[in-house]
């Protein structure tokens, strides 16, 4: 999973480096796929949410990206059948104050959940850490979870949600995921992988949590 996470971080970097006016989700899938295969992993999938009118359209398509629009990647690969699942956000052009505020809120929530993830706490506890931070920014966590198990498949139990009293144990692996949709902007979501350790957790992905600004 470490190999897969590192390869996906590299693929995201390659895609954002290529972002320009008129690029499409299909273009970006080709770039990420090539980067994954060059790293010796299998490209599994890419979700793209590009611009305010396509905030919930996740399948890469031939619709072009325009100046000022937000683009969100949710992408994964596999290495020896173990999965990565990482999400990042960028904007083509100068970010608005509203975008900066929303992205900062989602990053703060994600990092708070990561910080709180350790043996002995419950999945519900992590939900209760992240969701109020999102709501304090006037946003809505539309996933209703703040993460999920990940390993040989993309989504595995347990889910970090209200009512799940599963206790975290060393060796468990999770994708910490928080997402919101802002009218007029689009989808703003961050996702990173961690593994629970005896005294906390190890972050398998950290690169690129800042908002990517493509000039």
Res 143: pLDDT: 87
Comparing C-alpha atoms, which of 130, 118, 122 is closest to residue 177?
130
pLDDT 10s digits, 19-42: 999 999 999 999 999 999 999 999
**Does the pLDDT value for residue 54 go beyond 80?**
no
Task: Quickly list DSSP for 106-135.
Answer: HHHHHHHHHHH--TT-BHHHHHHHHHHHHH
Comparing C-alpha atoms, which of 117, 86, 122 is closest to residue 2?
86
What is the domain-level CATH number for residue 108? 3.90.230.10
Give first-to-last CA distance, the chain, whole Å. 33
Tell me which residue has tokens 């949600």.
161
Q: What is the average pLDDT across 93-97?
A: 97
Q: What is the average pLDDT across 69-82?
A: 97
**164-169: long-range contacts (C-beta < 8 A, 24 or more apart)?**
164/122, 164/123, 164/124, 164/127, 165/122, 165/123, 165/124, 166/122, 166/123, 167/119, 167/120, 167/121, 167/122, 168/117, 168/118, 168/119, 168/120, 168/121, 168/122, 168/123, 168/196, 169/119, 169/196
Comparing C-alpha atoms, which of 175, 201, 204 is closest to residue 190?
175
Number of compact structural domains in the chain: 1
Q: Across the chain, what does the average pLDDT equal?
A: 96
pLDDT 10s digits, 163-195: 999 999 999 999 999 999 999 999 999 999 999
- Residue 153, domain extent: 2-214
**Does the pLDDT value for residue 55 go beyond 90?**
no
pLDDT 10s digits, 120-155: 999 999 999 999 999 999 999 988 999 999 999 999
Res 53: pLDDT: 77
**Does the pLDDT value for residue 162 go beyond 90?**
yes
68 within 8 A of 92, measured Cβ to Cβ: yes
Comparing C-alpha atoms, which of 185, 156, 155 is closest to residue 56?
185
Contacts with 60 (C-beta within 8 Å, 6 or more apart), sequence order: 24, 25, 26, 28, 29, 46, 47, 48
**Does the pLDDT value for residue 113 go beyond 80?**
yes
Length, in residues, of the chain:
215
pLDDT band with cut points at 50, 70 and 90 for residue 56 = confident
For the record, the structure tokens of 168 come out as 């975290």
Tell me which residue has tokens 């006037």.
138
């Amino acid at each position: 999973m470490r190999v897969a996470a590192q390869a996906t971080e590299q693929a995201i970097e390659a895609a954002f480096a290529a972002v320009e006016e008129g690029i499409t989700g299909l273009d970006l899938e080709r770039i990420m796929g090539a980067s994954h295969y060059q790293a010796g992993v299998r490209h599994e999938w890419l979700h793209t949410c590009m611009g305010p009118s396509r905030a919930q359209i996740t399948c890469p398509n031939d619709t072009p990206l325009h100046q000022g629009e937000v683009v969100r990647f949710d992408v994964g690969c596999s290495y020896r059948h173990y999965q990565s699942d990482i999400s990042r956000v960028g904007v083509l052009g100068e970010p608005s104050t509203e975008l900066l505020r929303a992205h900062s809120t989602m990053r703060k929530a994600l990092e708070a959940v990561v910080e709180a993830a350790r043996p002995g706490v419950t999945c519900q506890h992590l939900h209760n850490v992240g969701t109020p931070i999102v709501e304090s920014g006037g946003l809505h966590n539309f996933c209703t979870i703040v993460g999920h198990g990940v390993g040989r498949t993309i989504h595995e139990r347990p889910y970090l949600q209200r009512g799940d009293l599963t206790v975290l144990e060393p060796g468990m692996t999770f994708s910490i995921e928080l997402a919101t949709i802002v009218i007029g902007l689009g989808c703003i979501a961050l996702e990173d992988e961690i593994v629970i350790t005896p005294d906390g957790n190890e972050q398998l992905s950290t690169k690129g949590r800042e908002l990517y600004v493509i000039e």
